[in-house]
């Protein structure tokens, strides 16, 4: 009898539990919704204020965000998205990979949700977030590159400074000439630094300035392009900066370390992003100026662009909450705050005037000119991840003395092998 | 007499009960994943994530890929140098710390210390120590007039530097097995040889070495299995470079699976790697087979 009572009591709890589970499942999705977010590994103080602001405005949505450093972010996303699970709901998408993610069904088509907003975005940023005529990501930042100059080192070596006007743009040959006069490798003083010295993002403009085409029109063949004469010539120039002229430190691939070398006054020039401006303005220990990105004599000025976007996983179980998050981050005021946390050039047209008090001075004038006139986005090829990774390893080897033509030929063979799956 | 419902006449050798946990563990954690990997190596993934049967295409493409064959060559060369080196050095240090003496415990601990560090930490430490600009090793080399070396950054020295790193970490561990082997040799045999007038070298060649065949074979096979799968330092320090000098197969497998998004091909490479390790281990075991 006692056993029967216990069994009934257990049955009662079971029914109650099932009812509670059912009740919870029919509560509207927005109540107590949790969004799983994979975010680029910017410093916590650059990320948390925006996330907190969103949570304050949307108390029914909790954000579970994970910041992953750039070097691990892309492979980590590959693993998580490749599993085709509903998580992460939202992720930071590198602009160069939009086409790749979209082609593989990892991005929600945002075109219907953005239809009234399209005119608000900078055209290049919107183009970078699109694939085959549809918008797949929310532009969150764009980028351009400037050349920062340590005036003190130039003066100490008695070398004439480059002008800061667009018309004063130096050629790479002039940069090398000045760098050779200033660099003292034995004393750890360098002539020229490339902030992301192994990444196609920063290096493709060198080859494009020389007139090289970096991939076939359909984005599926690299042989004949990255091992073509002009690409090889520009890469040879790049490789010689490290091994022959010894004006750049080889093997320094970490962006933070390169920045550290420049910001501690141990390099005469650095080609880098506008994110360096805040640190320099905050109090550099040396006098500095920013000048336009160099180009090859007889070639055309080309600068890198593109940056971060926000993507929604199409398998997300919380699409409404994810779209709320997206709309929040596409707001003018949110992106103004974002600029104040990390000064990427704005992707919203209105913010160039909203931020006019901060976007003053010659560096920002140059940045705006480059974005409108010389910026060339990375090729929107479905296999950019493979293209970038293989080319990155080739650039690393070339920095350390590998024969340029031979190494690029091998890279082209490897890239074509990996791109074959997209045909 | 009550009859237990599960009782039967069939008698099971008690040894099976003892073996069962190991067999279950081996099946769940080794045999099933290996089987899944082998089956997966005949498949690919479509862009939209669906599995597509590729037959032997993955294998055909791998075996005709000169880059992978070059990786396999580098991995085998690394093993050809690192494995015998680790065996010889671990036996040598085991002989040095075998006999009791003052501070012998301290020496053993110091030799074992590198094993307690994770491979990732080991890689970071040696990357800093060997740094061409900031590394203390280069500062010393420069001070004594040898000049700075590239180590991991130099195409001709990178593989050797990896051998050094693997050996620095591995020797202390393998020393333990060698010590166990040395302790298992009956002291009476050495005693008899000594009475017969055998020198230290003669006792080592004719008593110690023959009786150490089993521990040596074990260390050699185990070191092979570990060094064939050498990965973390390559990922952290060289990423396969400079110019492919440390492009080990495991790094290529990682690249293929996670950066080039081709799991089927990566699994086919893993299967080939498994076969290579098996063949090398069998050859080593056969060469070092004990007479008894």
Q: Which domains does chain B have, with CATH numbers?
A: 66-287 (1.10.3720.10)
Question: Distance (Å, rounded) from C-alpha B133 to C-alpha B127?
Answer: 11
* pLDDT tens profile A237-274: 999 999 999 999 988 888 888 999 999 999 999 999 99
Are A103 and B47 inside 8 Å of each other by CB? yes
Question: Distance (Å, rounded) from C-alpha A76 to C-alpha A244?
Answer: 37
Task: Give the per-residue pLDDT at B11.
Answer: 76
Q: Minimal Cα–Cα distance from B45 to chain A, Å?
A: 9
Residue B1: pLDDT above 70? Answer: no
Higher pLDDT, B5 or A387: A387
Does this chain's domain A33-139+308-343 share its CATH topology with A145-304+379-422? yes
HEC profile of A317-377: CCHHHHHHHHHHHCCHHHHHHHHHHCCCCCCEHHHHHHCCCCCCHHHHHHHHHHHHHCECC
Query: What's the DSSP call for residue A226?
Result: T
Q: In this complex, which of B48, B132, B155 lies closest to A105 when CB atoms are compared?
A: B48
- Asked if B88 and B216 touch (Cβ cutoff 8 Å), the reply is no
* pLDDT tens profile B171-183: 999 999 999 999 9
Structure tokens at A296: 């090859």
* pLDDT tens profile A107-151: 999 999 887 788 899 888 888 888 888 999 999 988 999 999 999
Q: Shortest CA distance to A66 belongs to which of A49, A41, A45, A43?
A: A41
Are B259 and A386 inside 8 Å of each other by CB? yes
Q: Tokens 């070639």 correspond to what residue? A: A299
Q: Shortest CA distance to A212 belongs to which of A231, A233, A227?
A: A231
CATH topology for the A145-304+379-422 domain: D-Maltodextrin-Binding Protein; domain 2 (3.40.190)
- Asked if A89 and A318 touch (Cβ cutoff 8 Å), the reply is yes
Are A105 and B243 inside 8 Å of each other by CB? no
Task: Give the per-residue pLDDT at A24.
Answer: 43
Are B242 and A103 inside 8 Å of each other by CB? no
Mean pLDDT over B262-277 rounds to 92
Angular region, A172: left φ>0, alpha ψ -120 to 50, beta rest: alpha
Assign A30 a pLDDT band (cuts: 50, 70, 90): very low
Residues of B in contact with A102 (CB under 8 A): none
Residue B220: pLDDT above 80? Answer: yes
Question: Distance (Å, rounded) from C-alpha B130 to C-alpha B133?
Answer: 9
Share of chain B above pLDDT 90, in %: 54
Assign A28 a pLDDT band (cuts: 50, 70, 90): very low
Are A397 and B241 inside 8 Å of each other by CB? yes
Question: Distance (Å, rounded) from C-alpha B137 to C-alpha B128?
Answer: 9
- How crowded is residue B9: how many other Cβ atoms within 10 Å of its Cβ? 4
Q: Shortest CA distance to A309 belongs to which of A81, A136, A122?
A: A136
Mean pLDDT over A299-306 rounds to 92
Q: Tokens 């690394």 correspond to what residue? A: B78
Task: Give the per-residue pLDDT at B152.
Answer: 92
Residues of B in contact with A388 (CB under 8 A): none
Question: Distance (Å, rounded) from C-alpha A39 to C-alpha A91?
Answer: 6
Question: Distance (Å, rounded) from C-alpha B86 to C-alpha B75?
Answer: 16
- The chain-wide mean pLDDT, for chain A, equals 89
Residues 6+ apart with CB under 8 A from A229: none
Q: In this complex, which of A188, A401, A417 lies closest to B133 when CB atoms are compared?
A: A188
Q: What is the edge-to-edge ordering of all strands in the sheet holding A33-40?
A: A61-68, A33-40, A90-94, A308-312, A138-139
Residue B246: pLDDT above 70? Answer: yes
Share of chain A above pLDDT 70, in %: 93
Of the candidate ranges A16-30, A384-398, B76-90, B240-254, the one whose mean pLDDT is the lowest: A16-30
* Cα first-last separation, chain A: 72
Are A386 and B260 inside 8 Å of each other by CB? yes
Higher pLDDT, B65 or B21: B21
Assign A227 a pLDDT band (cuts: 50, 70, 90): very high
Question: Distance (Å, rounded) from C-alpha B162 to C-alpha B152?
Answer: 8
Pairing of strands A61-68, A267-273: unpaired
Residue A66: pLDDT above 90? Answer: yes
Contact residues, B window 217-256, toward A, CB-based 8 Å cutoff: 239-244, 255
Find the residue in B nearest to A403 (Cα): B243
ipTM above threshold 0.90: no
Question: Distance (Å, rounded) from C-alpha B207 to C-alpha B11?
Answer: 45
- The chain-wide mean pLDDT, for chain B, equals 89
Q: In this complex, which of B67, B133, B240 lies closest to A249 when CB atoms are compared?
A: B133
Handedness of CA A64, A68, A70, A76 (dihedral sign): negative
Share of chain B above pLDDT 70, in %: 96
Provide the residue count of chain A.
Answer: 423
Residue B252: pLDDT above 90? Answer: yes
Are A413 and B262 inside 8 Å of each other by CB? no
Question: Distance (Å, rounded) from C-alpha A323 to C-alpha B38?
Answer: 41
Q: Among the ranges A53-67, B184-198, B238-252, which has the highest mean pLDDT value?
A: A53-67
Question: Distance (Å, rounded) from C-alpha A393 to C-alpha A309?
Answer: 25
Inter-chain contacts counted by CB atoms under 8 A, chains A and B: 69
Structure tokens at A31: 């109540």
Find the residue in B nearest to A416 (Cα): B260
Q: Tokens 């797949």 correspond to what residue? A: A136
Question: Distance (Å, rounded) from C-alpha A347 to C-alpha A377?
Answer: 14
Angular region, A84: left φ>0, alpha ψ -120 to 50, beta rest: left
Contact residues, B window 182-211, toward A, CB-based 8 Å cutoff: none
Find the residue in B nearest to A394 (Cα): B243
Mean pLDDT over B59-88 rounds to 92
Residues 6+ apart with CB under 8 A from B61: A417, B265
Question: Distance (Å, rounded) from C-alpha A387 to C-alpha A391?
Answer: 6
Q: How far is CA B245 from the centre of its chain?
A: 19
Task: Give the per-residue pLDDT at A44.
Answer: 93
Q: Shortest CA distance to A272 belongs to which of A202, A187, A342?
A: A202
Asked if the C-beta of B148 comes within 8 angstroms of chain A's C-beta atoms, the answer is no
Angular region, B21: left φ>0, alpha ψ -120 to 50, beta rest: alpha
Per domain, the residue ranges of chain A are 33-139+308-343, 145-304+379-422
Tell me how far CA of residue B14 lies from CA of B10, B18, B19, in angstroms.
Answer: 12, 7, 9
Residue A296: pLDDT above 60? Answer: yes
Question: Distance (Å, rounded) from C-alpha A95 to C-alpha A347?
Answer: 12
Task: Give the per-residue pLDDT at A359.
Answer: 85
Interface of A with B (CB under 8 A): 74-75, 78-79, 82, 84, 103-105, 188, 249-251, 382, 385-386, 389, 393, 396-397, 400-402, 407, 410, 413-414, 417-418, 421-422
Structure tokens at B184: 């298992």
Mean pLDDT over B15-42 rounds to 93
- Asked if A342 and A269 touch (Cβ cutoff 8 Å), the reply is no
* pLDDT tens profile A140-186: 988 999 999 999 999 999 999 999 999 999 999 999 999 999 999 98
Q: Count of alpha carbons within 13 Å of A265, Cβ hemisphere only?
A: 10
CATH topology for the A33-139+308-343 domain: D-Maltodextrin-Binding Protein; domain 2 (3.40.190)
Of the candidate ranges A309-318, B24-33, B97-106, B202-211, the one whose mean pLDDT is the lowest: B97-106
* pLDDT tens profile B130-157: 988 778 999 999 889 888 888 998 889 9
Are B67 and A78 inside 8 Å of each other by CB? no
């Amino acid at each position: 009898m006692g056993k029967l009572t216990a069994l009934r009591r257990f049955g009662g709890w079971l029914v109650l539990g099932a009812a509670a589970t059912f009740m919870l499942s029919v509560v509207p999705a927005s109540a107590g919704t949790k969004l799983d977010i994979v975010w680029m590994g910017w410093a916590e103080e650059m990320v948390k204020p925006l996330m907190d602001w969103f949570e304050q405005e949307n108390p029914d949505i909790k954000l579970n965000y994970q910041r992953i450093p750039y070097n691990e972010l892309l492979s980590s996303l590959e693993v998580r998205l490749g599993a085709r699970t509903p998580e992460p709901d939202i992720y930071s998408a590198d602009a160069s990979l939009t086409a790749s993610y979209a082609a593989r069904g990892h991005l929600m088509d945002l075109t219907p949700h953005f239809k009234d907003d399209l005119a608000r975005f900078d055209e290049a940023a919107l183009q970078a977030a699109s694939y085959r005529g549809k918008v797949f990501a929310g532009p969150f930042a764009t980028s351009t590159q400037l050349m920062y100059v340590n005036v003190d080192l130039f003066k100490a070596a008695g070398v004439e400074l480059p002008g800061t006007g667009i018309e004063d743009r130096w050629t790479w040959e002039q940069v090398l000439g000045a760098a050779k006069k200033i660099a003292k490798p034995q004393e750890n003083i360098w002539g020229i630094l490339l902030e992301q010295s192994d990444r196609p993002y920063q290096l493709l403009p060198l080859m494009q300035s020389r007139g090289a085409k970096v991939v076939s029109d359909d984005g599926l063949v690299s042989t004949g392009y990255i091992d073509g004469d002009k690409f090889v010539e520009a890469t040879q120039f790049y490789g010689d900066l490290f091994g022959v002229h010894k004006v750049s430190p080889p093997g320094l691939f970490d962006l933070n370390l390169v920045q550290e070398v420049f910001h501690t006054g141990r390099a005469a020039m650095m080609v880098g992003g506008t994110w360096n401006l805040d640190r320099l303005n905050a109090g550099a220990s040396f006098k500095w100026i920013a000048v336009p990105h160099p180009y090859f004599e007889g070639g055309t000025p080309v600068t890198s662009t593109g940056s971060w976007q926000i993507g929604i996983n199409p398998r997300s179980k919380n699409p409404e909450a994810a779209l709320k998050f997206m709309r929040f981050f596409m707001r003018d005021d949110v992106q103004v705050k974002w600029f104040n946390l990390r000064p990427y050039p704005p992707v919203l047209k209105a913010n160039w005037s909203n931020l006019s008090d901060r976007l003053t001075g010659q560096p920002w004038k140059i940045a705006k000119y480059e974005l409108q006139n010389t910026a060339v986005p990375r090729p929107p090829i479905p296999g950019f991840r493979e293209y970038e990774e293989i080319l990155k390893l080739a650039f690393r080897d070339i920095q350390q003395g590998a024969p340029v033509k031979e190494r690029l030929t091998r890279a082209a063979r490897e890239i074509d092998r990996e791109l074959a799956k997209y045909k | 007499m009550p009859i237990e419902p599960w009782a039967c006449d069939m008698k099971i050798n008690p040894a099976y009960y003892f073996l069962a946990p190991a067999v279950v563990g081996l099946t769940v954690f080794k045999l099933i994943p290996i089987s899944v990997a082998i089956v997966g190596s005949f498949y690919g993934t479509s862009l939209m994530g669906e599995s597509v049967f590729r037959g032997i295409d993955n294998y055909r493409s791998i075996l005709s890929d000169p880059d992978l064959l070059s990786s396999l060559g580098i991995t085998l060369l690394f093993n050809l140098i690192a494995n015998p080196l680790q065996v010889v050095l671990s036996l040598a240090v085991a002989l040095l710390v075998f006999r009791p003496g003052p501070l012998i415990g301290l020496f053993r601990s110091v030799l074992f210390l590198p094993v307690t560090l994770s491979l990732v930490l080991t890689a970071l430490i040696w990357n800093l120590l060997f740094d061409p600009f900031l590394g203390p090793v280069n500062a010393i080399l420069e001070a004594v007039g040898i000049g700075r070396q590239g180590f991991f950054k130099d195409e001709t020295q990178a593989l050797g530097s990896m051998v050094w790193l693997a050996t620095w970490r591995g020797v202390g561990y393998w020393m333990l097995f060698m010590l166990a082997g040395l302790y298992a040799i009956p002291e009476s045999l050495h005693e008899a040889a000594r009475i017969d007038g055998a020198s230290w070298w003669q006792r080592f060649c004719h008593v110690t070495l023959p009786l150490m065949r089993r521990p040596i074979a074990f260390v050699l096979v185990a070191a092979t299995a570990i060094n064939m799968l050498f990965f973390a330092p390559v990922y952290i320090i060289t990423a396969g470079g400079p110019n492919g000098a440390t492009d080990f197969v495991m790094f290529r497998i990682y690249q293929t699976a996670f950066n080039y998004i081709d799991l089927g091909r990566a699994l086919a490479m893993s299967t080939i790697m498994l076969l290579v390790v098996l063949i090398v281990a069998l050859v080593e075991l056969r060469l070092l087979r004990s007479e008894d």
